[in-house]
Structure 1
Amino acid sequence: MAWLAAPEYRLARELFLRLLALVYCCGFLAAARQFRALLGSRGMLPIPRFLARVPFRRAPSLFHWHYSDRLYAAVARTGLLLSAALLAGAADLLPLGAAMALWALLWALYLSIVNTGQTWYAFGWESLLLEAGALAVFLGNDRVAPPLLVLWLLRWLLFRVEFGAGLIKWRGDACWRKLTCLYHHHETQPMPGPLSWFFHHLPRPLHKAEAAANHVVQLAVPFALFLPQPIASDAALLMIATQLWLIASGNFAWLNWLTVALALAVLDTGTLRRVLPIGPDPHYPGQPVWYRVLVAAYALLVLARSWQPARNLVSPRQQMNRSWDRLHLVNSYGAFGSVNRTRYEIVLEGTRDVHGTDGWQEYEFPGKPGELRRLPRQFAPYHLRLDWLMWFAAISPSYARPWFLPLLARLLVNDPDTLRLLRRNPFPDAPPALVRARLYRYRFTDGPELRATGAWWHRDHVRDHQPPVGLAALRRHAPPDPTARPAGRDSTRHPTRHPGEDR
């Protein structure tokens, strides 16, 4: 069974697991800091309501046995501590079985969060983290050589991520085939970063070169992952380069970082020796029989569950970012099958006067465009969930209906959990009497405009998204009194995809 061991991938395993642990840290940190306003008992989409409608078999989660905000916080903080320990190398200090159990616990904790996260967690990178995290359980630690079967499964995952994204673009918006999508993408993407203004103003021939390179890397290069070394490593390096380009150009949570981690798992020590002074591969003792059995069994399970994702890839009706099982073990991926030509933003405002004559003041978000002179910030791999969903709300008001009015209701009572998700509350002393939402068309300024005004953005008012409304009209959407006895559970819809998710 020596062929199952691949000691030449020891550094690849280490790089992958450390970066995966870092991504887990970001996921659990975001959960710990944001859940009360989004999903808590007094949140916009409360988990207790969701659990009342959706049974365990449809959304496995430990919260089906018991839910409280205190337990959710404990789960998120425990996950954060465990992922930090794994990032520091704790798994290599433990026996093989204990290290596997640690990774499995981390996966189970995050699965419990994702499966009750509803709209706030309906992103492809959540499934990607869970699928990669499940594979990490079987990668072992320094006490055994990396298992070849799991390394190949990581390549299969990386192939689906890249090839799925390439196919959804080619089959989707015609601007990808015309190589013109990047005329608009850097400006209209969900949450631009600090360099997005500069990427947007690159010469159009370079934008076409970007799009063409994207097609090559996502549609042709993935097949090279299954070729002998060093071809497979060279393919992975090309993918890493394109992912770093995407990281520099915008905020896509941990999608790009996790793709980089998967690509790092392809690099053998022969490739790494080109740039690093690496000694010979160590001699590992034989893998325990029970470990080989578990690895082989899980590989067979993944192959069996790969039928639907593989069929989806070749289907002309390809679906993107879909989970084919409730455990998110084997999924379908894709990104930006269509690209918006115009950027719309919802701006929330409040006033102290019930007649609206006292002037309207804007709420500011940490990540989404708002104040015109503020350069977009870099947040990825951290994920600002409310900022992202505000982008979807501007695209599809009906999609945002379950949580948008509850958001306004919480602004009308200065809900502290909700205000912690914002950058600036213009009413720190007392809540506003009225709030409203206005829809604007945003665009990047050009060079002369930036120099003349200091503004990175220009905006034009389109219409009122939500007319002025007070707390009395939104009373049923307001957070319940925390001192009151909990009411009976009611139902909440559990959407699995965002409208415009192929954007």
Structure 2
Amino acid sequence: MEWFTATDYWWSRLVFQRALAVVYLVAFLGAALQFRALIGERGMLPVPRFVAQVPFRRAPSVFQLHYSDRFFAAWAGAGCAVSAALVAGLDSHLPLWGAMVLWLVPWVLYLSIVNVGQTWYGFGWESLLLEVGFLAVFLGNDEAGPPVVVLFLLRWVLFRVEFGAGLIKMRGDACWRKLTCLYYHHETQPMPGPLSCFFHHLPKPLHRAEVAANHVTQLVVPVLLFTPQPIATAAAALMILTQLWLVLSGNFAWLNWLTIVLALSAVAFPGTPPDVPGAPLWYEIVVLAVAAGLVGLSYRPARNMLSRRQVMNRSFDPLHLVNTYGAFGSVSRTRHEVVIEGTADDEPREDADWREYEFKGKPGDPRRWPRQFAPYHLRLDWMMWFAALSPAYAGSWFGGLVERLLENDRDTLRLLRRSPFPPDAPPRFVRARLYRYQYTTWRELRETGAYWQRTYVREYLPATRLATRVELRDP
């Protein structure tokens, strides 16, 4: 079938595949480096306990069959190796079926991790990576041109990412409709970047223009993805520029980068593609059958997107094949941070020698300038932002974190920037306090060097020792 492939998108497929492989590599690397303290055998939310309670059909994963920290490390390491091979272009040197199998491997590997990752893997970009990664299996290699239906489905994913995010904003917080959300967002977002303070201090009229431009990019431009070239390329390019703006203004793991990767698949790159043979019949049958199944699965995400009760970031099947997305349906007006402190003193008095634990990405020391971590995902730091919103977000894991700090657990301390206690001398008590954080003014920044100013709000967790049960309560 001549219509089945679009050879004009040969370069688009090549760029998309290499960029997607890089995102896979970052995801597996983060899993390998962080899993022991989060979901390992002695982690805050251990995988063995989870799989004992959740059946395979609800969370299909190889770890339902066997789990050990050594096995997980090997699994994540295999993901890194396969991703690196895909970045290097190994799939181009394999027969068509071999390339498809090679692309299927990281999807299967990462699906097994996400489905036992629990709270730590509950972010929308996990499902997005799995959905996009599954479609990449059927894009083929140099032995056939890019299938039109797969290119269409990639645009359908990009449409849902952008249009869904635009709808949730218009239906959610009134500040999006009033064009005022960016008065607060750069200060209250989960993990600010090194330039977030500068974005926050931009003039308010510019903030309003940013919000208006965002609405256009998310509610109008996605429709243009399904128009002929060069309009579709222009729409994708505009989305890429918008995502790069978001990359500069914050740390959103690989969400922005994966959205850019998706947009690249819609760009018609200049240049003459090489001669590509026609697609074999078996390949056409497989691709069309899979596409038909995915179109059928799109019903519930599409219905959710158009519903007045739209929800964000939800999977409708355990394989994460077709999902719904969205972000920041509501925007916090104030920023709160949970600050964890420990003391080696015998009594946890207020005048004891309380020392603060420092995290890698989340705000802590007011004088410490935020760093750029995205696309790398600091999972504990992100969840600490949710914990500050409400103790309900931290009930399942915060107690485990405190216990491991009291033990000077090596794997947990590796997730932090710095522990105030030597490895052989853990604290006797740990407590948590809630502070309000605000950016300093330009003048204060120049005079004091402080990026933040913070104000004590209340006790979050009273002084706790290992014999004490850790329990959080709403104020």
Tell me the TM-score range normalised by the shorter chain: over 0.9
Q: Hey, what does 1:341 align to over in structure 2?
A: 333
Residue identity opposite 2:411 in structure 1: D
Q: Hey, what does 2:418 align to over in structure 1?
A: 424
Q: Hey, what does 1:206 align to over in structure 2?
A: 206
Compute the displacement of 1:144 (Å). 1.1
Residue identity opposite 1:458 in structure 2: Q
Q: Hey, what does 1:458 align to over in structure 2?
A: 453
Matched, 1:108 2:103: no
Look up the SS of the partner of 2:119 in the other structure.
helix
Alignment of 1:155-166 (within 5 A): 155-166=155-166
In 1, the alpha carbon distance for the partners of 2:161 and 2:83 equals 23
Look up the SS of the partner of 1:401 in the other structure.
coil
In 2, the alpha carbon distance for the partners of 1:193 and 1:399 equals 23
In 1, the alpha carbon distance for the partners of 2:197 and 2:470 equals 41
Alignment of 1:302-381 (within 5 A): 302-356=294-348, 357-381=351-375
CA contact (8 A) 2:11 2:273 kept: no
**Cα-to-partner distance string for 1:230-288 (whole Å, 9 max, x where unaligned):** 1111100000000000000000000000000000000113xxx3xxxx3x222211111
Matched, 1:412 2:403: no
Look up the SS of the partner of 2:25 in the other structure.
helix
**Cα-to-partner distance string for 1:156-199 (whole Å, 9 max, x where unaligned):** 00000000000000000000000000000000000000000100
In 1, the alpha carbon distance for the partners of 2:197 and 2:161 equals 27
**Cα-to-partner distance string for 1:376-410 (whole Å, 9 max, x where unaligned):** 00000000000000000001102201100110000
Q: Percent identity?
A: 66
In 2, the alpha carbon distance for the partners of 1:95 and 1:71 equals 30
Scaled by the length of structure 1, the TM-score of the pair is 0.92
Compute the displacement of 1:474 (Å). 4.0
CA contact (8 A) 1:194 1:376 kept: yes
In 2, the alpha carbon distance for the partners of 1:398 and 1:252 equals 22
Residue identity opposite 2:76 in structure 1: A
In 1, the alpha carbon distance for the partners of 2:95 and 2:469 equals 56
In 2, the alpha carbon distance for the partners of 1:475 and 1:312 equals 38
**Cα-to-partner distance string for 1:325-348 (whole Å, 9 max, x where unaligned):** 000000000011010000000000
Q: Hey, what does 2:434 align to over in structure 1?
A: 439
Residue identity opposite 2:136 in structure 1: A
**Cα-to-partner distance string for 1:308-338 (whole Å, 9 max, x where unaligned):** 0111111000011000100000000001101
Matched, 1:389 2:383: yes
In 1, the alpha carbon distance for the partners of 2:178 and 2:470 equals 50
Q: Hey, what does 1:297 align to over in structure 2?
A: 289
Gaps of 5+ in 2: none
Look up the SS of the partner of 1:374 in the other structure.
coil
Scaled by the length of structure 2, the TM-score of the pair is 0.97
Moved segments of 4+, more than 4 Å: none
**Cα-to-partner distance string for 1:101-153 (whole Å, 9 max, x where unaligned):** 01111100000000000000000000000000000000001121111110000
CA contact (8 A) 1:37 1:44 kept: yes
Of structures 1 and 2, the one scoring higher in RCO (CA 8 A, sep 6+) is 1
Look up the SS of the partner of 2:258 in the other structure.
helix
Matched, 1:468 2:468: no
CA contact (8 A) 1:409 1:474 kept: no
Q: Hey, what does 2:228 align to over in structure 1?
A: 228
Compute the displacement of 1:415 (Å). 0.2
In 2, the alpha carbon distance for the partners of 1:94 and 1:414 equals 48
In 2, the alpha carbon distance for the partners of 1:358 and 1:179 equals 47
Closer, same or farther: CA 436–3 of 1 in aligned 2, 3 Å: same
Gaps of 5+ in 1: 477-503
In 2, the alpha carbon distance for the partners of 1:167 and 1:475 equals 40
Q: How many residues align?
A: 469
CA contact (8 A) 2:464 2:470 kept: no
In 1, the alpha carbon distance for the partners of 2:10 and 2:126 equals 26
**Cα-to-partner distance string for 1:57-103 (whole Å, 9 max, x where unaligned):** 00000111111111111110000110011011111011111111011
Residue identity opposite 2:38 in structure 1: L
Q: Hey, what does 1:482 align to over in structure 2?
A: none
Compute the displacement of 1:475 (Å). 8.9
Matched, 1:81 2:81: yes
CA contact (8 A) 2:399 2:470 kept: no
**Cα-to-partner distance string for 1:8-67 (whole Å, 9 max, x where unaligned):** 001111111111111111110110000000000100000000000000000000111111
